[in-house]
Amino acid sequence: MSTTCKRTKKRLLQSNNIQESDYKQSSRESFQPETDDEYNDIASKEDIADSIQFNSMEVEEVETLNIRYRSKTKSHDTQSKSISSKLNDIFQSPFMSINSSYAASSSSYTRSSTPQPQTITENHDTTSFCSPVDSRHSTPSWPVGPNSNDFIGSEQREFKQAKIIKSCRKNNVNHCEEQSQPTQNDEETDQEVEKVIMAINHKQRKLGCAYYNLETCKLYLMEDMEESPPYDLVNLLRYQILPSVIITNSCADDDFIEVLKAQDDSIPFETELVIRPSSEFLYVSAKTKLLSIRLGLQNHVNSIIESDKREMYLKLSSILNMESVETICCAGALIGYISRTELTGGLQVEVAGIEQFSLKRFLHINADALCSLQIFEDESHPNMHMQAKSKEGLSLFGILNNTRTSLGKKMFKQWFLRPTLDLTVIGERQHTIEHFLKPGNLEYAEQLVSCLKNIKNIPRIIHNMKRNMKVKDWQSLLQFAFYCLKIRNIVRESNQSENIPIFTKIRETFVVSDLKNIGSYINDVVDFDESVEENRIVIKPHIDEKLDYMKRTYDGLNELLSDIAREISTNIPTEFSSTLNVIYFPQLGYLITVPLKPEWKEEEDFKIDGLYYQFSTATTVYYKNDKMKELDAFFGDIHGLIVDREIEIMQKLQEHILEYVPLLLESTEVCAELDCLLSLTECARKYKYCRPRVVNENVLEIEKGRHPLQELCVDVFVANDTKIAGGNGITSENDNMTDDPTTSSEKVAYKSVMLLSGANFSGKSVYLKQVALITYMAHIGSFVPADSATIGLTDKIFTRVQTRETVSKIQSAFMIDLQQISIALRNSTSRSLLIFDEFGKGTGSTDGAGLFCGVVEYLLNLGRDCPKVIAATHFHEIFENNILSQTLPITLNTMEIMKEDEQEELTFLYRLMPGRSTSSWGTFCAALAGVPSPVIKRASHLSQLFARYESIPSPFDDDRERRAYATREEVARKFVKLDFEEDEDLEIFFELVDELTR
């Protein structure tokens, strides 16, 4: 080693108070000398020089800017230390306890907010100077000790966490603007459609289905269901699951495959259909694939011994019904497809959890009903730059959705797509909402909402661990651990929280020690202030001794290079001594720079005694000498070594966090459920909803029911009652007594079919929809817009309210209406609710009235299987002509109006009354719509004649008017055929006119 290098080493050791023996040992472990051949590769350096020249920036200017910036960041470093000390009070550090001896012995130092090499690299934008962070991999030895489980008060934790966030944003103004953009991107990412792969198969009247969510890494299997053409359940599954890829068997029926190929307009994206050979849907191979999956994101050994297979089989048998043959076959084909396409990053399929669902446990509601009842309403985004995205319009989901987390919104939508039939689940949700609505718990509910606002999409962050974690991801994980602890503390302080199911889940799922460990690991390792400044993850001091030593060495380079520059300036020509500078470039090493003179044109002009030319830019020439090579060999690429070491530490941190994946996923689900319940609570309080009584009896009793959307659009809403029961159709004398033990004798008097008539614009459609919506909301677990309600379990809701016409369907509007009726008649049971609004209006009045009566009589003839039916109609002749017998068990209701005979005006009262209407008052509604009065007068006259079955008289008062009209018509026809070029024709025409007009 030369004397210069020895003096350099001595100055560095003295400035950092490090023993020479310690330095030698660390240097041998951390740094590998680079050969001189590396610096003789002139071609590669010329390429880099071109890159620097392209950016047109002088290195000396960068150096000056960097030194000034370093002096301005000293106060920031002091504040960062105080922030770190506060955060360490929140999460007692296992790392700090382990490295306490090292931290005590290590000399403190102040790192610059932006290290010099990285600043140079960023200003020049030369990505070739710095290797990509993602390409560095290592797994160092990193011990982790026990963690303190002491819990602190929520107020103290909230204050300190807020201070951390404010400090990060306050001290990094420019970078906070950069960070705000990724946050917006996160929201956009959460709005994107989830990647869901679904496998479905139909064989021997059995329908099997399995689907895999790539974001949550969960596998869902359905219990086999009976299904036959036209495959209504298939369409229901497609709408509820919204798969991006559908896998099916090539041996399936052609009609079944055609249904899967058809694109449904209710699905906002195009689905890809993959048809696989039948060999992939074999039960034995499918069961083997299920046994070989990697469950719980744990490490998997390819060679599974038989005992492990038996254990896995027992575990799966406790979760799944292995007798659902078609579903198991679908799961095997699904696993094979994911493994073959490597969607999870490898051949092995990662499954965080397996769940089985049965459609029998959910209320069936298809896309037509969801659209007709305005449960979902997609609208174009008002921002022209976001037209590809849609937003929720005026819909039931739109007014009830007050969730604060992305996962809470997704779970809330699943509650809407799959209302439950489990009375226990419904009761638990209602009990929780009732608890939050108590005046004494309002403050706790607001605190929980405030905490949930800071919960991010944790499954997506865990998924990102397979690729590249960003600073904001680590911040989100730290916030998640913190706010989960705060939520648990709020629950502990809440009044009477022992019997609340969601609070029990929080106490059982939010393990304090594990959450504090997660927070401690991240808080002790990641320096968020520095990470935001440098746009990469930076490790805190006192975590790794070797890393701290390299950073101290790196920070001491400024003074060292200045001394070396002064020393070199004495040994070169005097014309360069005043402008010479020594700099360090990552991956290029240490360089001597001099300004480029205009007269330097040829290669010989760049030669300077004692210096080796490397490359040049538009303003600067870069050289090396023996001393520079000694520095390269002694220190190495110190910036790259720092980045490598930090990546190694972060890799180990990721491995520790991955051990808590089950806890994180379970806690995220609990937070999402809590978010949904708080959303329903807020709506119940805001809109004054009441708790319905959901019972097993097949009955609907609603007092003062309101339409949840319509009441928000009008000043005064008139509430109406509903009393109807299922299973009370036409029965024989032997069946007069009910066979359903769950139905009391008081409910037997309720009829199953209600026919509603009345004037146009009197509120019939609103009433029909409000009954269906109240029933639907009760099965979600929500409170309902009524004074009181008793809702019997309803397995299906079918509607014929809105005709969804589209050019993609080669069908008429009336054919679409008939298909909706057909689905309802085929699939309804005694517990179903059917809503028909003016069915039959799309065809002739006689055919329409006949179809309407035929549907009503068919449903009544089902007897004890008759569903609950509410139908509105304008076919008044079916009552007047006794087409529907008055002896049928039908309830006739009408919407009340008040008519003033003198002025022939109507007043709509929107009140449901017993009886029926004799007129629809269509002409009055036409006048309200602004139709011209002659049209209305003529329409009124004709409607009266139609009502009395009288013939329509001729429009002429006498024969003279009729003859005059015929003469004019004949003259007009002759004139059209007249040839003006022939004089004879003109003469004949004029003669005819004279004759006719005499």
Are the beta carbons of 892 and 724 closer than 8 angstroms? no
For 271-284, write each residue's pLDDT tens digit: 889 999 999 999 98
Q: Which neighbouring-strand residues pair with 222?
A: 357
The pLDDT of residue 791 is above 70: yes
Q: Which residue has the tokens 């509650």?
A: 415
Are the beta carbons of 129 and 121 closer than 8 angstroms? yes
Retrieve residue 15's tokens.
């400035």
How much of the chain, in percent, has pLDDT values that exceed 90? 33
More confident residue, 34 or 616: 616
H-run or E-run covering 199: strand 196-203
Average pLDDT, the chain: 76
pLDDT tier at 379, thresholds 50, 70, 90:
confident
How far apart are alpha carbons 527 and 285 in whole angstroms? Answer: 50
How far apart are alpha carbons 253 and 217 in whole angstroms? Answer: 31
Q: In what order do the strands lie in the sheet with 581-585?
A: 581-585, 589-595, 620-624, 612-616
Q: Which residue has the tokens 């739109």?
A: 398
More confident residue, 945 or 553: 553
Q: What residues does each domain of the chain span?
A: 1-180+450-686, 196-342, 693-917, 921-953, 959-996
Burial 436-458 (b: 16+ CB within 10 A, else e): bbeeebeebbebbbebbebbbbb
Retrieve residue 488's tokens.
């648990």
How far apart are alpha carbons 556 and 559 in whole angstroms? Answer: 6
Retrieve residue 808's tokens.
């993609």
pLDDT, residue 157, reads 30
Are the beta carbons of 797 and 365 closer than 8 angstroms? yes
The pLDDT of residue 804 is above 80: no
Task: Calculate mean pLDDT across residues 124-136.
Answer: 31
pLDDT tier at 193, thresholds 50, 70, 90:
low
For 18-45, write each residue's pLDDT tens digit: 444 443 343 333 333 333 333 334 333 3
Task: Calculate mean pLDDT across residues 225-244.
Answer: 86
Superfamily of domain 693-917: P-loop containing nucleotide triphosphate hydrolases (3.40.50.300)
pLDDT, residue 636, reads 84
Retrieve residue 72's tokens.
């301005």
pLDDT, residue 740, reads 53
pLDDT, residue 951, reads 67
Q: In what order do the strands lie in the sheet with 693-695?
A: 693-695, 788-792, 699-705, 720-725
How far apart are alpha carbons 703 and 719 in whole angstroms? Answer: 8
The pLDDT of residue 92 is above 80: no
Q: Mean pLDDT check: name the lowest of 358-367, 450-459, 477-486, 808-817.
A: 808-817
pLDDT, residue 271, reads 85
How much of the chain, in percent, has pLDDT values that exceed 70? 72
List, as one string, the DSSP characters of 640-684. Answer: HHHHHHHHHHHHHHHHHHHTTHHHHHHHHHHHHHHHHHHHHHHHH
Are the beta carbons of 260 and 234 closer than 8 angstroms? yes
pLDDT, residue 841, reads 83
For 59-80, write each residue's pLDDT tens digit: 333 333 233 333 333 344 444 4
pLDDT tier at 844, thresholds 50, 70, 90:
confident
For 950-964, write each residue's pLDDT tens digit: 666 666 666 777 777
Are the beta carbons of 243 and 196 closer than 8 angstroms? yes
Q: Mean pLDDT check: name the lowest of 39-53, 153-167, 733-747, 799-813.
A: 153-167
pLDDT tier at 47, thresholds 50, 70, 90:
very low
pLDDT, residue 178, reads 35
H-run or E-run covering 245: strand 245-249
Q: Which neighbouring-strand residues pair with 700?
A: 724, 791
Are the beta carbons of 840 and 803 closer than 8 angstroms? no
Q: Which of 625, 567, 593, 534 is nearest to 117 (CA)?
A: 534
Instruction: Tell me which amino acid residue 987 is.
Output: E
How far apart are alpha carbons 405 and 669 in whole angstroms? Answer: 11
Q: Report the residue count for the chain.
A: 998
pLDDT, residue 21, reads 41
Retrieve residue 629's tokens.
């090579």
Q: Which residue has the tokens 């010479």?
A: 580
How far apart are alpha carbons 345 and 347 in whole angstroms? Answer: 7
How far apart are alpha carbons 381 and 378 in whole angstroms? Answer: 9
> CA angle, corner 322, sides to 320 and 323, nearest 5?
125
CATH assignment of 196-342? Answer: 3.30.420.110
Say how many CA atoms lie within 13 Å of 639 toward its Cβ.
Answer: 23
pLDDT, residue 239, reads 84
Q: What are phi and psi of 436, to 5 degrees?
A: -70, -25
H-run or E-run covering 756: strand 753-757
Q: Which neighbouring-strand residues pair with 585?
A: 589
Are the beta carbons of 539 and 525 closer than 8 angstroms? yes
Give the 3-state secondary structure of residue 900: strand
Work out the end-to-end distance of the chain between its first and last CA atoms, rounded to an integer number of angstroms: 135
Retrieve residue 9's tokens.
């080493």
pLDDT, residue 8, reads 43
Q: Which neighbouring-strand residues pair with 35?
A: none
Q: Which residue has the tokens 């472990």?
A: 29
Retrieve residue 232's tokens.
């209504």
pLDDT tier at 698, thresholds 50, 70, 90:
very high
How far apart are alpha carbons 533 and 115 in whole angstroms? Answer: 10
Q: Mean pLDDT check: name the lowest of 269-273, 905-909, 989-993.
A: 989-993
The pLDDT of residue 503 is above 90: yes
- DSSP structure class, residue 344: T
Q: What are phi and psi of 673, to 5 degrees?
A: -65, -40
Q: Which of 894, 893, 836 is nearest to 868 (CA)?
A: 836
Task: Calculate mean pLDDT across residues 244-254.
Answer: 91
pLDDT, residue 475, reads 93
The answer, yes or no, to whether the previous bond of 33 is cis (omega within 30 of 0) is no
What predicted TM-score, i.e. pTM, was given to this entire model? 0.73
Q: Which of 318, 360, 354 is nearest to 334 (CA)?
A: 354
List, as one string, the DSSP characters of 935-958. Answer: HHHHHHHHHHHHHTTPPPPPS-SS
Q: Which of 683, 739, 674 is nearest to 709 (CA)?
A: 683
Write out the E strands in 785-914: 788-792, 796-800, 833-837, 868-872, 890-900, 905-914
Q: Which residue has the tokens 């003279």?
A: 960
Task: Calculate mean pLDDT across residues 598-618.
Answer: 85
More confident residue, 113 or 473: 473
Q: Which residue has the tokens 């058809």?
A: 262
Q: Which of 41, 132, 7 is nearest to 589 (CA)?
A: 41
Task: Calculate mean pLDDT across residues 315-324.
Answer: 80
